[in-house]
Amino acid sequence: MLQKDVLVIGAGPAGLAASIEAGKYGASTLLVDLNMQPGGQLFKQIHKFFGSSAHRSGTRGYDIGKQLLQEAQEANVEIWMQSTVIGIFPEHKVAIEKGLDSGKKEMITIQAKKIIIATGASENAIRFNGWTTPGVMGAGAAQTMINVNHVKPGQQIVMLGTGNVGLIVSYQLMQAGCDVVSLIEAAPKIGGYAVHAAKIRRAGVPIRLRHTIIEAKKGENGCVCGCVIAEVNEHFQPIPGTEETIACDTIALAAGLKPTMDLVKLAGCKLTFNGPFGGYIPLHNDRMETSCLGIFVAGDTTGVEEANTALEEGKIAGISVAEDLGLISPDTASNQRKEIWERLHSLRLGPFGERRMQEKEAVMKEYETCIGAPIPIQ
Amino acid sequence: MALINTGYLEYDELKNIQTLPDDERFSKGPVAIIECVQEIPCNPCEAACHFGAIQVGEPITNLPTLIGEKCIGCGMCVARCPGLAIVVVDKTCSDTTATVSFPFEYYPIPTVGEERKALNRKGEIVCSGKIVKVVNPASYDHTPVVTVEIPKEFADEVRTVERV
């Protein structure tokens, strides 16, 4: 059986950052991901990132992705793409369906001293009449089409949701040459950053608050030809008589994300439900270790946030495994973690971050109360 | 705040949140207008300014503050702001006209001499404008800064030009 010091699952910002830290300190590190290319969502993020200028802000997402891949190479991280983890067993034996250059798959079992799960999050679907009609898609899918595959999903887009994903993807659809007809938002206010909303409005695109989509209209070609929207009451229920039809060929849904928990559950990590973080998440401590000894988590899997916080959490997980493997001293690890937690703290300040900071602290407190010390996988 | 209901700022609303240049500062030449009004963790504008005219400090959720005397209106911050929330306004270019320099990340990029309709924060047409400058060096990382000349009375309203 192939032996590794560290197995990192998921090659997005959190998994890459964790691999780079572990590899840098000399751990034999394998990073696996089921996608074709590493980088997670970074390569479709063509916008300049917010954050601290000391840490890559003002840099476009794909450039951050390129830098991370370079650093992973320098840290001797081995990367398997199109490779899916299908089982996690006691003694950290992991079954991987490995993608081969030939396009075929091979079953490989490896044993890793430490496992870091950074499987990210997936988009929430919104169900309405006709929601399975071709032309209805997640906003993330539309973003992948334009920015990675360079194919427009359609010409006339209606976007549901005004969180940062809805606002940013709307802007990028316009950059790609699509017409964004309208943004629809059930809440009484815009969810994302004002500066992103301002770009949309400057471009002359209306934002319809207190409205939702109740139906996707199907055209003769079997694809979306319009959508019916309606005003909603304070319980987010459509108000009869307020329906109106908007012509469009694409409906993009930006209704939040939920952490991808399959492997965390498979490993038997203790979970907690957290609404603001998107659903069930693994309890973890300030070293990013779960209730299972030697199994760590980082990034959106621990609660949906954004790439900057994912990178920092990934680093913490990488430092913690290096410490547990005896590659760095507990003092060094502890000091580095302290610095990163300070940066995370500053990223979670302000009206958009405070709630996440409180929730993060609550998750770690629940860990201390309910778990205390991690125990091996049963 | 109207902003979170509409997505755009009224000028009066902006004046209540941000420190904007006064008439005296405007009379001295081009100056940056920072239309960043929410405490989000972001500070590249501070590092972008070589003259120390933008302060964010700690914590990085502080709103940026412009020090009008130090600002020379160079436009470095315009290209660097990830929120595309900074413009440079020059009310001294002639007796009757002003220029607004803004980030513009759509194709086709306007060209010097071109006439384009000038738009306000809501995307409404305010007047016709003449493109007088387009700056797009590698250091701006694909955020061209476009300068449009417009009648002076619209200098506080015009924030972009139409996409074509």
Q: How far apart are CA B46 and CA A120, in angstroms?
A: 32
Mean pLDDT, chain A, as a whole number?
A: 97
Q: How far apart are CA A178 and CA B27, in angstroms?
A: 41
Q: Superfamily for A2-122+257-370?
A: FAD/NAD(P)-binding domain (3.50.50.60)
Nearest 5°: phi and psi at B77? -65, -30
Q: Are A273 and A279 in contact (CB under 8 A)?
A: yes
Q: How far apart are CA A296 and CA A293, in angstroms?
A: 8
- Which residues of B lie inside 8 Å of A (Cβ-Cβ)? 3-9, 35-44, 46-48, 58-61, 80, 82-85, 105-107, 119-124, 141-143, 159-160, 163
**Confidence (pLDDT) at A53:** 81
Nearest 5°: phi and psi at B148? -115, 135
What is the ipTM score, two decimals?
0.96
pTM here is 0.96
Q: What is the pLDDT of residues A37-60, one digit of tens each?
A: 999 999 999 999 998 887 888 999
Q: Do the domains A125-253 and A2-122+257-370 match in fold?
A: yes
Q: How far apart are CA B25 and CA B17, in angstroms?
A: 18
Among chain B residues, the shortest Cα distance to A174 is held by: B106
DSSP string computed for A80-142:
E-S-EEEEEEGGGEEEEEEEPTTS-EEEEEEEEEEEEE---EEEPP---BTTTSTTEEEHHHH
Q: What is the pLDDT of residues A4-31, one digit of tens each?
A: 999 999 999 999 999 999 999 999 999 9
Question: CATH for A125-253?
Answer: 3.50.50.60
Q: How many CA atoms lie within 13 A of A48 on its CB side?
A: 24
Q: Do B107 and A60 touch (CB under 8 A)?
A: no
- % of chain A beyond a pLDDT of 90: 96
Tokens of B132: 């007088």
| Listed residue (A285, A196, A235, A261) closest to B82, CA to CA | A196
Q: How confident is the model at residue A239 (pLDDT cuts 50, 70, 90)?
A: very high
Give CA A308 to chain center in angstroms.
11
Say yes or no to pLDDT of B1 above 60. no
Give CA A238 to chain center in angstroms.
30
Which residues lie closer than 8 Å to A158 by C-beta, 6 or more apart? A180, A181, A182, A183, A184, A213, A227, A246, A248, A250, A251, A252
Q: What is the pLDDT of residues B109-144, one digit of tens each?
A: 999 999 999 999 999 999 999 999 999 999 999 999
Q: Do A198 and B35 touch (CB under 8 A)?
A: yes
Q: Enumerate the domain spans of chain B.
A: 3-161
Interface test with B, best of A47, A48, A168, A173 (most B CBs within 10 A): A48
How many cross-chain Cβ pairs, A to B, lie less than 8 Å apart?
Answer: 133
Q: What is the pLDDT of residues B41-97, one digit of tens each?
A: 999 999 999 999 999 999 999 999 999 999 999 999 999 999 999 999 999 999 999
| Listed residue (B43, B127, B104, B8) closest to A171, CA to CA | B104
Task: Name the residue type at position B68.
Answer: G
Instruction: Name beta bridge partners: A7.
Output: A30, A115
Q: How many CB atoms lie within 10 A of CB B146?
A: 25
**To which H or E segment does residue A260 belong?**
none
Say yes or no to pLDDT of B40 above 90. yes
Tokens of A101: 């250059």
DSSP conformation class of A48:
B
Q: What is the dihedral of CA A254, A265, A323, A285, to 10 degrees?
A: 70
Say yes or no to pLDDT of A377 above 90. no
Q: What is the pLDDT of residues A159-212, one digit of tens each?
A: 999 999 999 999 999 999 999 999 999 999 999 999 999 999 999 999 999 999
Q: How confident is the model at residue B19 (pLDDT cuts 50, 70, 90)?
A: confident
Interface test with A, best of B42, B143, B164 (most A CBs within 10 A): B42
